[in-house]
Structure 1
Amino acid sequence: MLTALSIRDVVLIEALDLEFGAGLGVLTGETGAGKSILLDSLGLALGARADSGLVRQGAPQAAVTASFELADRAAVAALLDDSGLNHDPSEPLTIRRLVKADGGSRAYVNDQPASAGLLRELGALLVEIHGQHDDRGLLNPRGHRALLDSFARADTAAVAAAHRALRDAEDALAAAHAEQESAARDREWLEHAVTELTKLAPEPGEEAVLAERRATMQRGEKIAGELQAIAELIDGSDGALTRLRQAARILERIAEDHPALAEALAALDRALNEGSATQEGIDSAADALAFDPAALEADEARLFELRGLARKHRVQPDDLAELTDTLAVRLERIEGGEGLITRLTADLAAAETAYVAAAEALSATRAAAAARLDAAVAAELAPLKLDAARFRTTVEPLPRDQWSAAGRDRVEFEVSTNPGAPFAPLIKIASGGELSRFILALKVALAEEGGARTLIFDEIDRGVGGAVASAIGERLARLAAGTQLLVVTHSPQVAARGGKHLLIAKSHDGFVTRTGVRQLDEAERREEIARMLSGAQITDEARAQAERLLEAA
């Protein structure tokens, strides 16, 4: 809901601060007083083209600030989040637009820089302006399907879910076909690669094991001679241990002859033990480093083959086992690809059947709702002096390539304004006055389903009077019961229905012409409606008639 509008230096408006509330507000004034300036100012805040001609003469810039209390906070919050702007849902939404006299403009949302495009998107969520040449809101066929669904209270979730499943099935089948075609081109290469890899049968970690074993055997080959020489020196027929044992046997015979000989024998025994331990260590190392030339050759050959295949396939040797499985699966898909495609084709057919069933149910709901909407609009046309006009909601199937999560229907509101005339889009065949009245009839019938919280009608009563004007006023008041509605009007019957009455007037101090707006009290309101009834010369009869209109409202 629009709560406040502040205007500075726009055309003839020097400074203007307005507050608005719920219900029906009317704006009246003599022709040329500047009602269009007010709407242009609001349009500027809602992203309309920034024209430097809007800047009041002599002022450096024009500024418009509009404040809103939000009805659909989630939609606005999502839009602001997508744009990277912050907003406290508990606070009003403030939009400010500046236009410089020398060209250029700036826009702000909650004092954060924003684009004019974002203002237009916010405007679509916040306000609908319907005038003589308006082509938005109800006149845009792209929104008719959503409006009909809201009127029908249709649940589109099942169709949306079925459409997602259909798209997934289409994507899976397309991917299978693409993979089949790509794999078929590589079949010969795949067969050779899988055969080669399967024959080698690589295992994860195998390269490290082979490399370590090869290095160990190579070290053993290098020092085998040295180990053998050491063994001969220590434990050979003429080695150190043999000589030490001989010396020990001699010492054993004479050790009792002197204590020092006994100590020498004990030391010799220790030396023999250490020597034996040394020989055992050398023997153990020799066993560990022992190698079979044939085994070394076999390990080297396999290691080189692993590394060669890894380079060939541009992977690490440890990844060869996984690559073998991957290529084998690709080859298997070629050989069994037709079966996979057959299954996915069946899945697609089932998904399409499910989508069609859900879409048909939604189409039936829309068709029934369309009949109710047509009847509701028809009931509104005669009182609005559109007796000869006919309205219909067209629900037609879309081609296969236009099916969507919203179903497979094209929905459009159409009218025929004269007997025998063909139906056509509303905007193409209705005159200015008829257009506004058709919009009002639609709005009343739709009961504001799916619409913005603030509605503005610009001279919806142009060219009509009497009973038609009264009917328009009654319907505007009815529509305003559930929303905020502002009406620029020349009709006293409509003005009398307003809960709040603003008068737009032009003043001149001899030098500068200004446009101002003020809220009327009850006495001023009666006088303004009397002026609208009688013209410049207000009569007592006009005042009495104004009083009757106000009492009837």
Structure 2
Amino acid sequence: MLTTLYVRDLAVVAEAEITLGAGLTVVTGETGAGKSLLVDALLLLGGARADATLVRSGAERAEVSAEFDLAASPAARAWLHTQALDDDGHCSLRRVLAAAGGSRAWINGRPVALAQLGELAAHLLEIHGQHEHQALLQREQQLALLDAYGAHSVTLLQVRELAQRLRALAHEAATLGDGSERDARLQLLAHQCTELERWALPAERLAALEAEQRRLGHAERLLAGSAALVDQLEGDDGLRNQLARAAAELARLAEIDADLGASRELLDAVLIQLGEAGSALAHYAEARDLDPDRLAEVDAHLQHLHDLARKHRCAPDALPDVLTRLRDEHAHLHDAGARLDALARERDALTRDYDTAAAALGAARQQAAQRLGAEVSALMGTLGMPGGHLQVALEATAPGAADAQGRERCEFLISTNPGQALRPLRRVASGGELARISLALEVSMLGLDDIGCMVFDEVDSGIGGAVAEIVGHKLRALGRVRQVLCVTHLAQVAAQGHAHLRVSKHSDGAATRTQIETLDVEGRRDELARMLGGVSITPETRAHARAMLEQAQAR
């Protein structure tokens, strides 16, 4: 239940804080005073798109916040707990609109996305706008209303899940293809796997093969270079002999002065390493020879690798991964026949389950259609359409694939006068009739959810007189089991409220502001008199207003 609504700098409202209680609260005021701004504020808290023009002229931002009592809202409490936004049963929503554009939202003081704000608000508020009843003209909405009225959510969910699974099976079967396509694909995969098994190499072996190619391609240079180096090191006048003579001379000098011993040791070590280097180079030169056949073999292998890489659109070192993928696909297709048989058996079982669930949903819809038609028809008589009749017609869908909505489509048929033929609602109902039928549906569907606050924004437009009084009675009846907030211009409806808010607009010549006040008994009488009498309010008008109020409050 909505307990407090706070608005600041929204359109012509500078600041207003409204405390709301249970029952029916009516909102009245002169045309253009800003009555629907309260609904706009609640729509913003429901995640509606923000418009920077809603920020009051001269203000940097507009703010809307609300407090809710969740004692009778288990779904809202569960949602807050799931989102880790619960706060010991407390629930506050806040939205700020910047004049420069953009908005921010909070739940229980923590910033949230607008989608989260909308999800929570859907458990707290049910807003019926002035033109919402136009949705009744859509057959999809009519079917949704019927399912909500009949409480078909569990069966409908089962039908949807079964239809989704059947579509998934059909898609998998289609990907497996028919026998000829599968055989052709298997042959291609076998050929590709054979190619890759022959030529593809892991990354380390590919690197070794590329190194071998470089070595074989430069073998002549490597042999000539290593032989020349051996001659430079080991020849008669090579570096090693020169150093040997220098070492001998240093040894003689070290016998004279021991301080040269360290240099002698270093030179001896150099001679040893130089000898080892010369031996290694000589062995390298002797072990290597030109091998054009091996070079051709390595070149051919690498050429195949690069061709395959281009063919499969990958790097050469990724070919082993391609081979793994193709092997998996080959194995999958190889077993496709068995898989198709399994899919057929699973499809048959799911189809039987779907048929059962769809039949159960269809039977439940038939029963709900009869009840809803009878209930709304009875209410139509009290709402100014005596002899009117609503029939909820169900039409079977064409045979074919499993439908997520079941095997029926819905059409609301209406006759607004006795003896008149039933015709589709979308073709014959006027705006006022749609509004009254919408209200009848809302009354019929009361109690099907735990949403604590219902908001009506002038859904009583287009009616008056005795019908308006009956509409007021219905709204007051809703107020006994739900919190109802109703923006109205009808005195007959306003008199039925358990509480009354008046919206008025004031201007000092420089700025215009809207004021929202809670009326006491005398204030309500005066406001009803204004609504009844217009410009001239007579004692008779006041007496009439007092009588209407007393009669309504006595119910």
TM class by shorter chain equals 0.5 to 0.7
CA contact (8 A) 1:132 1:458 kept: yes
User: 1:372 Cα deviation (Å)?
Assistant: 1.0
Q: Which amino acid aligns with 1:52?
A: A
CA distance in 2, matches of 1:463, 1:137: 18
98, 101, 105: which one aligns with 1:100: 98
CA distance in 2, matches of 1:88, 1:98: 21
Partner of residue 266, structure 1: none
Please list the CA deviations of residues 493-546 of structure 1 after superposition, one character each: whole Å capped at 9, or x if unmatched. 211211111111223345433211111122222232233222344333233323
CA distance in 2, matches of 1:461, 1:8: 28
Q: Percent identity?
A: 41
2:152 corresponds to 1:148: no
Partner of residue 129, structure 1: 127
Q: Which amino acid aligns with 2:373?
A: D
Q: Which amino acid aligns with 1:445?
A: S
Partner of residue 53, structure 1: 53
CA distance in 1, matches of 2:113, 2:193: 58
CA gap of 1:73–1:90, structure 2 versus 1, over 3 A, is farther
Please list the CA deviations of residues 186-207 of structure 1 after superposition, one character each: whole Å capped at 9, or x if unmatched. 259769999xx9xxxxxxxxxx
Q: Which amino acid aligns with 1:456?
A: V
CA distance in 2, matches of 1:138, 1:22: 29
Q: Which amino acid aligns with 1:51?
A: D
Q: Which amino acid aligns with 2:91?
A: L
CA distance in 1, matches of 2:191, 2:386: 79
Partner of residue 32, structure 1: 32
CA contact (8 A) 1:397 1:409 kept: yes
User: 1:58 Cα deviation (Å)?
Assistant: 1.8
CA distance in 1, matches of 2:511, 2:468: 36
Q: Which amino acid aligns with 2:96?
A: L
CA distance in 2, matches of 1:166, 1:47: 35
CA distance in 2, matches of 1:7, 1:534: 31
CA distance in 2, matches of 1:551, 1:377: 29
CA distance in 2, matches of 1:363, 1:357: 10
Q: TM-score, normalised by structure 1?
A: 0.65
Please list the CA deviations of residues 386-413 of structure 1 after superposition, one character each: whole Å capped at 9, or x if unmatched. 2365423232334566745553333354
CA distance in 1, matches of 2:445, 2:329: 61
The alignment covers a number of residue pairs equal to 425
Please list the CA deviations of residues 446-503 of structure 1 after superposition, one character each: whole Å capped at 9, or x if unmatched. 2242484322222233343221111101111122222221111122221121111111
CA gap of 1:406–1:331, structure 2 versus 1, over 3 A, is closer
User: 1:14 Cα deviation (Å)?
Assistant: 0.8
Runs of 4+ in 1 over 6 A off after TM superposition: 191-194, 326-332
CA distance in 2, matches of 1:12, 1:172: 59
Within a 5 Å distance, the mapping from 1:262-411 to structure 2 comes to 333=335, 337=337, 341-342=340-341, 344-387=343-386, 389-399=388-398, 403-404=402-403, 407-411=406-410
CA distance in 1, matches of 2:168, 2:191: 31
User: 1:139 Cα deviation (Å)?
Assistant: 6.3
CA gap of 1:121–1:429, structure 2 versus 1, over 3 A, is farther
CA distance in 1, matches of 2:439, 2:405: 27
Please list the CA deviations of residues 221-240 of structure 1 after superposition, one character each: whole Å capped at 9, or x if unmatched. xxxxxxxxxxxxxxxxxxxx
Q: Computing the radius of gyration over CA atoms, which structure comes out larger, 1 or 2?
A: 1
User: 1:147 Cα deviation (Å)?
Assistant: 3.4
Partner of residue 260, structure 2: none
Matched position secondary structure for 1:481: helix
User: 1:160 Cα deviation (Å)?
Assistant: 5.4
CA contact (8 A) 1:526 1:543 kept: yes
Please list the CA deviations of residues 150-188 of structure 1 after superposition, one character each: whole Å capped at 9, or x if unmatched. 422345165456546645654664565579954663259
User: 1:442 Cα deviation (Å)?
Assistant: 0.7
Please list the CA deviations of residues 108-147 of structure 1 after superposition, one character each: whole Å capped at 9, or x if unmatched. 3333334444444444443233233226876665454443
Partner of residue 449, structure 1: 448
CA gap of 1:184–1:36, structure 2 versus 1, over 3 A, is same
CA contact (8 A) 1:65 1:96 kept: yes
Within a 5 Å distance, the mapping from 1:119-268 to structure 2 comes to 119-134=117-132, 141-154=139-152, 155-156=154-155, 159=159, 162-163=162-163, 166=166, 170=170, 173-174=173-174, 177=177, 181-182=181-182, 185-186=185-186
CA contact (8 A) 2:393 2:410 kept: yes
